[in-house]
Amino acid sequence: MTPGSGPHPRVLVFTEDCDPTADVVLARLNERGVPFWRVDPGDFLAELGLSAIFDGTWSGTLWGQLRGVDLDGLRAVYYRRPSGFRTPEGLTEVEQTFARSQARHALSGVLSALPRVLWVNEPAKMADARVKAHQLAVAAWCGLTTPLTLITNRPDEVVAFGRRVGRIITKSLAIVNVRENEQTGVLYTAEVPEADWNHSGIAATAHLFQELVPRLYEVRMTFVAGQCFATAMEPNDPDGPVDI
Amino acid sequence: MNQTSKEKWNTLTISTMCPEAERFPLAPPIGVSGGVGVRPFGLSVARWDAYARFDRDKVRVDPDTQIGMVGHLPLREVMGELTTICQMESDGQTVISLDYPLDDE
């Protein structure tokens, strides 16, 4: 297949190769005959081309080795898990920073400025939604009950907080995948034993602490166009009630 | 910070869904005690997740279907065995359906 030889994609799917969640959606799009193009913006500098012209509105083309999209025909962007921009070899660090910045503002700038394009979801709103301090404020504003929460880099504040609420947990302030010594991991929510309330590592950066809320399971809710889809998550292991 | 700690931090990367933040090395911690870097508390209590039992580099996108594949198997089938086995409606018996109406727009 060459660019332009098949149906023109009306849906752009921004994600890396390893994304099983997107795969489920894309299988459905295939079944329904929706022309889409799965592309990783991380390939932009090496394998993708963009040419857009502004004359009152943006028009142009984004193309790759197998597919391309006419910006005028684009109707939706499914923004999943794009990887970072990879820069050509041989650039200095300063040049790489410049190249990534240019690429990001060109690609996301032109696409976000297109009219009649549905974003699922808008990157800026996703960025806001990831911030736990913001989540708590929004949840409280919506009338939900929220746990007592402390964000601090002072161990003595954690000690006082722990004495106030009894049992406390800590969770990372953002979704973090950590790679270290050939291992990949995520930072799970964990209960903080009293012996660690004064841990010196707390002073290394800001941390989030919350009162422990006993429960049997948690609920993940997805909101789509006025409808709520609730899923109960029931843990299989003893640590589950804390870390899910 | 001694050399060992420095090397350790150099191998630690942090990533989020934000392309700008990905592949940037995590800065060394500010707190220093006795010449040895203080590890952020959150990392020290991290429990390593086992979800990455497959090799991400082995995932390839099928050029026709654009679905992620590991060898001849769809990635979602490989992952399905590693994740939940309980994706049911609240009655506990009906498999959750993705057959929602399609909006042509």
Per-residue pLDDT reduced to its tens digit, B55-67: 667 788 999 999 9
Which portions of chain A are predicted below pLDDT 70?
1-7, 177-186, 236-244
Interchain contact A115–B (C-beta under 8 A)? no
- Contact A4/A68 with Cβ under 8 angstroms? yes
| Chain B CA closest to residue A73 | B105
Q: What is the pLDDT of residues A16-42, one digit of tens each?
A: 888 888 999 999 999 999 999 999 988
pTM of the model: 0.69
Share of chain B above pLDDT 70, in %: 25
Interchain contact A197–B (C-beta under 8 A)? no
Partners of A177 on chain B (C-beta within 8 Å) are: 14-15
Reported confidence tier of residue B80, pLDDT bands at 50, 70, 90: low
Interchain contact B102–A (C-beta under 8 A)? yes
Which single residue is written with the structure tokens 């420095």?
B6
Q: Going by C-beta distance under 8 Å and a sequence separation of 6 or more, which residues neighbour residue B33?
A: A200
Partners of B48 on chain A (C-beta within 8 Å) are: 183-185
**pLDDT attached to residue A111:** 93
User: What DSSP string runs through A26-70?
Assistant: HHHHHHHT--EEEE-GGGHHHH-EEEEEESSSEEEEEE-SS-EEE
- Contact A135/A127 with Cβ under 8 angstroms? no
Helix (H, G, I), strand (E, B) or coil at B95: strand
- Contact B12/A187 with Cβ under 8 angstroms? no
- Across the interface, of A20, A23, A81, the residue whose CB is closest to B17 is A81
**Which of A1, A18, A24, A38 has the most B C-beta neighbours within 10 Å, making it the best mutation to test the interface with B?**
A18
Chain A window 203-222: which residues touch B at a Cβ cutoff of 8 Å? 203-205, 207
Q: At residue B33, does pLDDT exceed 50?
A: no
DSSP 8-state code for residue A8? P
The type of residue at A61 is T
Interchain contact A68–B (C-beta under 8 A)? no
